Structure 1
Amino acid sequence: MTLRGWAWEFLRRNPAFQRDLLAALQEANNLSPGALIEVIASDGDLSRWGVLFR
């Protein structure tokens, strides 16, 4: 597993991250329903975790 893979594994298991992710996803808007590539916009701030919605 790569370093990035390990980082994601620890991050996704972190209860504080899970809580922040759930809050961000509840605010998210799917801008491309049914498309091959899913585009999501959210005002949720996951930048403290190094995760950005664009």
Structure 2
Amino acid sequence: MTEIRPQEKHKAGALSKAELEKREPGGLSGTFVSVLILGAFIAISWIGVFLLFIARN
């Protein structure tokens, strides 16, 4: 049976805790921007529907 060496384990996708902590902020900033864009879209949609409701009354 083939043994997995520590170097090969890293290649298989296992990240150390230090590497994972170092990578998180970049991923979270992209997530934050995506949430802001989605929130802005929802807010603009609600405002548009509200203005349409006001205009028809």
Q: TM-score, normalised by structure 2?
A: 0.28
TM-score (norm 1): 0.29
* Higher-strand-fraction structure: 1
Structure with max Cα Rg: 2
| Bigger helix share | 2
Q: Which has the higher contact order (CA 8 A, sep 6+)?
A: 1
